[in-house]
Structure formats: C-alpha cells, structure tokens
Amino acid sequence: MNVFYEMLLVLSIYYFILFVIGQVVKNNSIVDIAWGFGFVVLAWHTYIRGSQSMSGLLATLLVSIWGLRLSYHIGKRNIGKPEDFRYQNFRKQWGDKFPRVKAFFHVYALQMVIMIMISTSYTINNIFNKTSNNPLMILGLIVWLTGFYFEALADYQLKKFVSDKSNKGKLMVTGLYKYSRHPNYFGEALLWWGIYLIGFQPNTWWTVLGPLTITITIRFVSGVPMLEKKYMKREDFRAYAEVTNIFVPWFRKD
C-alpha cells in the first residue's frame, strides 16, 4: 500500500477512535491531549516506511520529544476537567441539529487535515529524501531547541503560577510572559521552522507549507485570537497588552 494511503488510514482510525471517546465522555477537547501524540505516530510510521535518512531520524526524534511532552502536559492539565471553553462555544454555535456530525467534521476531521498539512515538514523528508544537508540540520536543530525552550518553559512558568493559590484571579505577566503575551505559542511555531530546516531539500522546498500552516493557525486562527478575545474583557489584560508584544518576544514598551 502506498505510504500516503497508509498515513491517511492510520490518522483516520486514530481520529475516529478519538471521536467515539469524545462523544462517550461528552468532551471534544480530548483532541487537544491527542494532538501532539498524533504527530509522533506519523513521524515513526513515515520514518520506518521511508528512506530512513539521518535528517529523517533527527526530525522524528525531535517531533517525538515535542509531541509526547505536549500530550503529557495538556493531559495532566485537562483530564478530569470540564470541556475547554472553545469547544463549549462551538457546541452553542452548532445548535441541536446533528451536533455529533458537526463535531466530527468541525473538530476531528478538520484537525486531522491540519495535522497532515503541518506534518509535511517532516513526513515528505522521511519518505523520500535519502541525503541530509548537515549545515541546515545544525541550524534547524538550533531553531528547534530555541522554540522548544520557549514553549516548555512558558508552560512550566504558567503552570507554577496558576498552582500558587495566592495568584488566584491574577494575570501572569512575569517570566517569558513579560516579553510576549503568548510565548508558548511562539515557541511552538518556531520549533516547526526548525523541523522544516532539518529536512530541507531543494526538491521539497514546498513543504514550507508545514511551518506556515502552524504559524498562521496559531497566530491568526485558533490559538492567539481566541485567548485574546477571552482576556480582552479584563482591564488588567488590556493594560498588559498595551506594553507587551502579542507573539514574538520583545522588550516591554513601558
């Protein structure tokens, strides 16, 4: 079977199982927990079935580190909690007609398509490219490490802040959040540019679709805009937003 069809079959089964579980527990935000792990599954499947190049192995290992950490982090935070506010809002928008069908296409199938688009940054390299560009591999690793540092440290700092009961009702404006309102999202976008550089070959330049998709999605569609809309109702957040970059970390304006 063609590896592309295998990839689609694997993801289709993966997301159908998630869909069934989501309807049983009445919580569609389980897709957030499964998001990172889905990339890990794709990475190892395409590496094993592909050319098994050095750049492919490096990208697969890095995707695995990122994906497993992210799924663990979100799972630990979300398991046992109510459905995320984004999916609650989706339910209200869908209405009473065919809510499960709408959930399948608007949440699960859509996320699967986005995952396929983002993963081109390493799946195409894993399948076809037999050679590696060592200078770009090193540069890509540096970019990935920088992005992973921002994402992991920002998540840790926020978790520590929220777990302190004395901070209840307060806004996180210290640590990496002093330089960006969404440093974790910035880190996630950046590390995907690193993955792209690691596997870059002139004949597969178009896999830039991967990092472009995740960057545009996070910055302009589902990540940053939703949180901004939620928190802009708070006066302290509006004051924070006036002096702090929204995405790319930089020095405060005050």
Q: What is the pLDDT of residue 98?
A: 86
DSSP 179: T
Q: What is the pLDDT of residue 100?
A: 87
Q: What is the pLDDT of residue 210?
A: 96
Query: Rounded to whole angstroms, how far apart are CA atoms 114 and 109?
Result: 9
The domain limits of the chain are 3-243
Alpha-carbon torsion 199, 205, 210, 213, what sign? positive
**Integer CA distances (angstroms), 254 to 219, 243, 249, in order:** 24, 6, 15
CB-side neighbour CA atoms (13 Å) of 75: 11
The total of other beta-carbon atoms located within 10 Å of residue 205's CB is 10
The pTM assigned to this predicted structure is 0.92
Q: What is the pLDDT of residue 1?
A: 56
For the chain, 254 residues long, the average pLDDT of each consecutive 10-residue run is 82 95 92 96 94 94 97 92 86 82 91 94 91 91 98 96 94 96 97 97 93 96 92 94 97 87
Q: What is the pLDDT of residue 97?
A: 84
Query: Rounded to whole angstroms, how far apart are CA atoms 169 and 167?
Result: 6
